[in-house]
A and B are shown apart, each in its own frame.
Chain A
Amino acid sequence: MSFDNMTSNWSKLRVRHPQPDQYKDAPYKWGMVIDLDACTGCNACTTACYAENNLPVVGKERFLGGQQMHWIRIERYWGEGTESTQEFPEQGAQFLPMMCQQCEAAPCEIVCPVGATHHTPDGLNSQVYNRCVGSRYCSANCPYKVRYFNWFDYPESAWPSPLEQQLNPDVTVRTKGVMEKCTFCVQRLTEAKSKARTEKRTVRDGEVLTACAQACPSSAIHFGNLADPSSQVAQMWKAQQVELSAYPQKKNEQEETERLGGQVELVPYPQNKSEQNVETEQLGESGEKLRGYRVLEDLRTYPSVVYLERIRSTEA
């Protein structure tokens, strides 16, 4: 049985991912767009993630010791070589919410010795807690370092009675020795998909949101189904000319201008040019630049999160 299985599916077993149009016929491919221009660094997304996914609060000492457990973290950058001279240190900082990028060619998936991390058909990088033996090779190989290891058994310290009552019953509470990371709130996705299946349809755009997308007060985080061309994230990816399985991205300013049907009107660049992770800056129609990029794309991890570069001046 299994030998036939192997021979009949041989072509599928030998194909490398990602492929162009890999998700053309798939019902779901979850992706995100995060608008750094709208992000104020308020940490509402982080808090929502803690609440939704049973993340333990490790305490100040352990946090400063590097043993944090925040699946989504707000990073602050001030530009290379500049020191903040403002009254409040955060002034002038650019905020970047960073979580697991659900890479299509994830460096973490191939190195787990026991096979605790895989790629799901809907394009998520899955972490199987009960298979993980804690070798931490996945975290060693992750370029973004968005994988968090359970260094201790947290329940007693993080949720003393009666705080355990607020835990989300849809999400496992992880034991010590297990690796965890952002799952794009897979418990919500599963519930939404299951509900949609009973109603014999696919999940509609906006019907399911991750906790961070739901909590963001400035709607900086957009979440949706990239396989559905009419979804908001798919349209934003297309507008920014970012393709899931392409590197380098072929961005065409002229085409963009023609697509938008207008004259090119130049918009002054921000004075502070040394913004983090700038790939290309191109101008399209006024106010709408091709400012979408993926972090550390040259490592060819093909992440599923596009960040929209900040436009407003850092003085604000």
Chain B
Amino acid sequence: MSKKSYVLALFNDFEEAAHAIAALRESRLKGFRMQDVTLKSPIDHPECAAELGDRPVYIQLFSLIGAVLGSSLGFLAISSAQSNFLRQPRGGFPIVPVPTNMVITYELFILGSVFFTIIACYVVFALHAQKNRLYSVAISVDKIGILVKADPAAVDGLKDIFTRYHALEVSESS
């Protein structure tokens, strides 16, 4: 694999950044793919990020898995614990009462779902973390950044596109 360069362009305006991404997509520059373009912003910009194409999010699948696992394991654990080994009879109630198990299963269903959701999110963060290295502290204030991983040959073409859309600053690294 050839050595890649990273170009980060900072914009003041979200609309201009969106236009810049559209221009990137329509341009016939070789040396980069749309999936190597990342948007960095201080707030969530779904309409801007939509320009980048379809990047599906799978978190809620894991929430569902966690919910099912949490509730079923919890239910099995509790209901079997009541009757395994040492049985503790109490007057007036069966040893394995159903409403009790429902209550605790409900709590564990939520706990399982929460844990799996968070783990899924952290896994996603970890998986994507290595790819993008360039960052500017202005992004956490109010600037929007577009990061492109490209061949060094395409860098100049990218810089042209960015300056056309009033990029404040374009930095590069490899």
Let me know if chains A and B touch directly in the complex, using CB atoms closer than 8 Å.
Answer: yes
A289 to chain B, nearest CB (A): 30
A-B contact pairs, 18 of them (CB 8 A): A2-B84, A5-B84, A6-B79, A6-B96, A9-B83, A10-B96, A13-B82, A13-B87, A14-B95, A14-B96, A15-B94, A103-B91, A106-B91, A107-B92, A109-B92, A110-B92, A110-B93, A115-B88
Residue in contact with B83 in the complex, picked from A6, A18, A109, A115, CB distance below 8 Å:
A6
Whole-angstrom CA separation of A217 from B49 in the bound complex: 92
A273 at interface (Cβ–Cβ under 8 A)? no
Q: Do A118 and B83 touch across chains, with their CB atoms under 8 A apart?
A: no
- Contacting residues, chain A, for B80 (C-beta < 8 A): 2-3, 6
- B92/A104 in contact, CB under 8 A: yes
Chain B residues near A3 (CB-CB < 8 A): 80, 84
Min CB gap A302→B, angstroms: 8
B55 in the interface (beta carbon within 8 A):
no
In the complex, A16 has a CB within 8 A of chain B: yes
User: B95 contacts which chain A residues (CB < 8 A)?
Assistant: 12-14
Chain A residues whose C-beta falls within 8 Å of the C-beta of B125 in the assembled complex: none
Q: How many residues of B contact A (CB 8 A)?
A: 16
The answer on a CB contact under 8 Å between B96 and A13 is yes
Question: What are the interface flags for A83-125 relative to B under an 8 Å C-beta threshold, 1 for contact and 0 otherwise?
Answer: 0000000000000000000011111011000010111000001
Q: Which residue in chain A gives the minimum CB-CB distance to B94?
A: A14
Docked CA distance A107–B89 (Å)? 13
B3 interface residue per 8 A CB criterion: no
B83 and A17 within 8 A (CB)? no
B91 close to A109 (CB less than 8 A): yes
The complex places the Cα of A10 from the Cα of B90 at a distance, in Å, of: 16
B92 touches A105 (CB 8 A): yes
Q: What residues of chain B lie closer than 8 Å to A105, measured between beta carbons?
A: 91-92
Residue in chain B with minimal CB distance to A119 = B91
Chain B 72-108 interface 0/1 with A at a Cβ cutoff of 8 Å (1 = within): 0000000110111101111111111000000000000
Residues of A within 8 A of B88 (CB): 115, 118
Contact B91 A104 (CB under 8 A): yes
User: Is B89 within 8 A of A119, CB to CB?
Assistant: yes
Query: What is the CB-to-nearest-CB distance from A130 to chain B, in angstroms, rounded to a whole number?
Result: 14
Q: Assuming A13-B94, A14-B96, is B89 touching A118 (CB within 8 A)? A: yes
Q: Please indicate the chain A residues that have their CB under 8 angstroms from the CB of B89 in the complex.
A: 17, 118-119
